[in-house]
Amino acid sequence: MSVIENTKQFAPAGSWTADPVHSHVAFEVGYAGVNTFRGSFTDFSASLKGGEHATLEGTAKIASIDVKDEHLNGHLQTPDFFDTQRYPEIAFKATELRRLDDNRVEGKGELTIKGTTQPVQLEGVIAGEPSTDPFGRERLGLKLETSIDRTQYGVNWNAPNQSGGDYVANDVKLIAELAFVKAEA
Protein backbone atom coordinates (compact mmCIF):
# COMPACT_ATOMS: atom_id res chain seq x y z
CA MET A 1 0.00 0.00 0.00
CA SER A 2 1.63 3.23 -1.05
CA VAL A 3 0.72 6.71 0.08
CA ILE A 4 -0.12 9.15 -2.71
CA GLU A 5 2.42 11.95 -2.98
CA ASN A 6 1.74 15.07 -0.96
CA THR A 7 0.57 16.83 -4.13
CA LYS A 8 -2.73 14.95 -3.71
CA GLN A 9 -4.67 16.20 -0.70
CA PHE A 10 -6.94 14.06 1.44
CA ALA A 11 -9.91 16.23 0.42
CA PRO A 12 -10.29 19.38 -1.67
CA ALA A 13 -9.75 22.64 0.23
CA GLY A 14 -12.74 24.11 1.98
CA SER A 15 -15.24 23.35 4.72
CA TRP A 16 -17.52 20.37 4.22
CA THR A 17 -20.53 19.37 6.32
CA ALA A 18 -22.23 15.96 6.33
CA ASP A 19 -25.68 15.92 4.80
CA PRO A 20 -27.67 13.86 7.35
CA VAL A 21 -30.30 12.80 4.80
CA HIS A 22 -27.72 11.13 2.54
CA SER A 23 -25.32 9.95 5.26
CA HIS A 24 -25.45 7.00 7.65
CA VAL A 25 -23.69 6.29 10.97
CA ALA A 26 -24.05 2.72 12.18
CA PHE A 27 -22.65 -0.17 14.20
CA GLU A 28 -22.53 -3.95 13.86
CA VAL A 29 -21.97 -6.46 16.65
CA GLY A 30 -22.13 -10.23 16.87
CA TYR A 31 -25.29 -11.50 18.56
CA ALA A 32 -25.96 -14.90 20.17
CA GLY A 33 -23.00 -16.35 18.30
CA VAL A 34 -25.11 -16.80 15.17
CA ASN A 35 -25.63 -13.45 13.44
CA THR A 36 -24.75 -9.77 13.22
CA PHE A 37 -26.93 -7.22 15.01
CA ARG A 38 -27.08 -3.75 13.43
CA GLY A 39 -28.13 -0.34 14.62
CA SER A 40 -27.65 3.29 13.69
CA PHE A 41 -27.81 6.85 14.96
CA THR A 42 -30.27 9.21 13.30
CA ASP A 43 -28.99 12.45 14.89
CA PHE A 44 -25.33 13.02 14.09
CA SER A 45 -23.04 15.64 12.62
CA ALA A 46 -19.66 15.58 10.90
CA SER A 47 -17.40 18.27 9.50
CA LEU A 48 -14.40 17.95 7.23
CA LYS A 49 -11.86 20.65 6.46
CA GLY A 50 -10.00 19.85 3.29
CA GLY A 51 -6.71 21.18 2.06
CA GLU A 52 -3.11 20.65 3.07
CA HIS A 53 -3.93 19.58 6.64
CA ALA A 54 -7.33 17.89 6.58
CA THR A 55 -9.38 17.58 9.77
CA LEU A 56 -12.47 15.51 10.51
CA GLU A 57 -14.75 15.63 13.54
CA GLY A 58 -18.15 14.21 14.36
CA THR A 59 -20.69 13.45 17.05
CA ALA A 60 -23.73 11.19 17.40
CA LYS A 61 -26.54 11.70 19.91
CA ILE A 62 -27.17 8.51 21.89
CA ALA A 63 -30.87 9.37 22.26
CA SER A 64 -31.17 8.91 18.48
CA ILE A 65 -30.06 5.26 18.52
CA ASP A 66 -32.26 3.11 16.28
CA VAL A 67 -32.26 -0.68 16.42
CA LYS A 68 -35.85 -1.17 15.17
CA ASP A 69 -37.15 -2.11 18.63
CA GLU A 70 -38.48 0.64 20.91
CA HIS A 71 -37.78 -1.31 24.11
CA LEU A 72 -34.23 -2.15 23.09
CA ASN A 73 -33.64 1.48 22.01
CA GLY A 74 -34.60 2.44 25.57
CA HIS A 75 -32.39 -0.23 27.17
CA LEU A 76 -29.38 0.91 25.13
CA GLN A 77 -29.78 4.39 26.66
CA THR A 78 -29.58 3.13 30.26
CA PRO A 79 -26.37 2.78 32.33
CA ASP A 80 -26.28 -0.90 31.22
CA PHE A 81 -25.05 0.39 27.86
CA PHE A 82 -24.54 4.07 26.95
CA ASP A 83 -25.95 5.93 29.99
CA THR A 84 -27.51 8.72 27.92
CA GLN A 85 -28.33 10.87 30.97
CA ARG A 86 -24.65 11.24 31.87
CA TYR A 87 -23.09 10.82 28.41
CA PRO A 88 -25.46 12.13 25.72
CA GLU A 89 -23.00 11.95 22.81
CA ILE A 90 -20.37 9.83 21.15
CA ALA A 91 -17.57 11.98 19.72
CA PHE A 92 -14.82 11.38 17.17
CA LYS A 93 -11.84 13.48 16.11
CA ALA A 94 -9.31 12.41 13.47
CA THR A 95 -5.65 12.81 14.41
CA GLU A 96 -4.26 11.61 11.07
CA LEU A 97 -5.80 11.17 7.61
CA ARG A 98 -4.09 9.78 4.52
CA ARG A 99 -5.33 9.26 1.00
CA LEU A 100 -3.89 6.13 -0.62
CA ASP A 101 -3.96 4.69 -4.13
CA ASP A 102 -7.37 3.97 -5.67
CA ASN A 103 -9.07 6.51 -3.33
CA ARG A 104 -8.60 4.30 -0.30
CA VAL A 105 -8.04 6.13 2.97
CA GLU A 106 -6.58 5.30 6.34
CA GLY A 107 -5.99 7.23 9.47
CA LYS A 108 -6.11 7.47 13.21
CA GLY A 109 -8.43 9.20 15.59
CA GLU A 110 -9.82 9.48 19.07
CA LEU A 111 -13.24 8.04 19.88
CA THR A 112 -15.08 9.04 23.07
CA ILE A 113 -17.88 6.89 24.45
CA LYS A 114 -19.25 7.22 28.01
CA GLY A 115 -16.54 9.76 28.86
CA THR A 116 -13.71 7.39 27.87
CA THR A 117 -11.45 8.35 24.98
CA GLN A 118 -9.47 5.67 23.15
CA PRO A 119 -7.38 5.74 19.95
CA VAL A 120 -8.84 4.06 16.87
CA GLN A 121 -7.52 3.04 13.45
CA LEU A 122 -9.57 4.01 10.40
CA GLU A 123 -9.85 2.64 6.91
CA GLY A 124 -12.20 3.38 4.08
CA VAL A 125 -12.69 5.08 0.74
CA ILE A 126 -13.20 8.63 -0.51
CA ALA A 127 -14.74 9.81 -3.77
CA GLY A 128 -12.11 10.45 -6.43
CA GLU A 129 -13.41 13.95 -7.05
CA PRO A 130 -16.34 16.02 -5.80
CA SER A 131 -19.50 16.02 -7.88
CA THR A 132 -22.03 18.80 -8.36
CA ASP A 133 -25.61 18.07 -7.34
CA PRO A 134 -28.72 19.43 -9.13
CA PHE A 135 -28.67 22.48 -6.84
CA GLY A 136 -25.11 23.46 -7.80
CA ARG A 137 -23.54 22.29 -4.52
CA GLU A 138 -20.29 20.33 -4.46
CA ARG A 139 -20.56 16.92 -2.77
CA LEU A 140 -17.88 14.52 -1.59
CA GLY A 141 -18.43 10.98 -0.31
CA LEU A 142 -16.35 9.38 2.46
CA LYS A 143 -16.83 5.95 4.06
CA LEU A 144 -14.84 5.07 7.17
CA GLU A 145 -14.81 1.97 9.35
CA THR A 146 -13.14 0.98 12.59
CA SER A 147 -13.53 -1.84 15.09
CA ILE A 148 -13.49 -1.37 18.85
CA ASP A 149 -13.79 -3.45 21.98
CA ARG A 150 -16.90 -1.96 23.60
CA THR A 151 -15.76 -2.98 27.09
CA GLN A 152 -12.83 -0.54 26.82
CA TYR A 153 -15.46 2.22 26.88
CA GLY A 154 -17.43 0.85 29.83
CA VAL A 155 -20.18 -0.68 27.67
CA ASN A 156 -20.13 -3.99 29.52
CA TRP A 157 -23.68 -5.38 29.74
CA ASN A 158 -24.10 -8.95 28.58
CA ALA A 159 -26.13 -12.07 29.21
CA PRO A 160 -24.99 -15.67 29.06
CA ASN A 161 -26.03 -17.62 26.00
CA GLN A 162 -27.52 -20.97 27.04
CA SER A 163 -25.51 -22.56 24.22
CA GLY A 164 -22.28 -21.12 25.63
CA GLY A 165 -20.55 -17.76 25.53
CA ASP A 166 -22.32 -14.41 25.75
CA TYR A 167 -25.15 -12.96 23.71
CA VAL A 168 -23.39 -9.73 22.74
CA ALA A 169 -19.86 -9.83 21.31
CA ASN A 170 -17.30 -7.35 22.64
CA ASP A 171 -15.96 -6.41 19.20
CA VAL A 172 -18.08 -3.77 17.48
CA LYS A 173 -17.65 -2.41 13.95
CA LEU A 174 -18.44 1.29 13.52
CA ILE A 175 -19.30 2.56 10.04
CA ALA A 176 -19.74 6.16 8.87
CA GLU A 177 -20.92 6.68 5.29
CA LEU A 178 -20.80 10.45 4.90
CA ALA A 179 -22.07 12.60 2.03
CA PHE A 180 -20.37 15.96 2.55
CA VAL A 181 -21.60 19.23 1.06
CA LYS A 182 -19.09 22.04 0.58
CA ALA A 183 -19.87 25.29 2.35
CA GLU A 184 -20.42 28.23 0.06
CA ALA A 185 -17.54 30.70 0.04
Query: In the predicted model, what is the mean pLDDT of the chain?
Result: 93
The answer to whether residue 33 scores a pLDDT higher than 80 is: yes
Q: How confident is the model at residue 4 (pLDDT cuts 50, 70, 90)?
A: very low
Per-residue pLDDT, 6: 42
**Residue 20 vs residues 5, 24, 59, 62: alpha-carbon distances, Å:** 32, 7, 12, 15
Q: Sign of the CA dihedral 148, 46, 125, 31?
A: positive
CB 25 within 8 A of CB 5: no
**For 44-82, how does the pLDDT look when each residue is reduced to its tens digit (9 = 90+)?**
999 999 998 899 999 999 999 999 999 999 999 999 999
The answer to whether residue 2 scores a pLDDT higher than 80 is: no
The answer to whether residue 3 scores a pLDDT higher than 60 is: no
The answer to whether residue 16 scores a pLDDT higher than 70 is: yes
Percent of the chain at pLDDT > 90 equals 89
Per-residue pLDDT, 8: 67
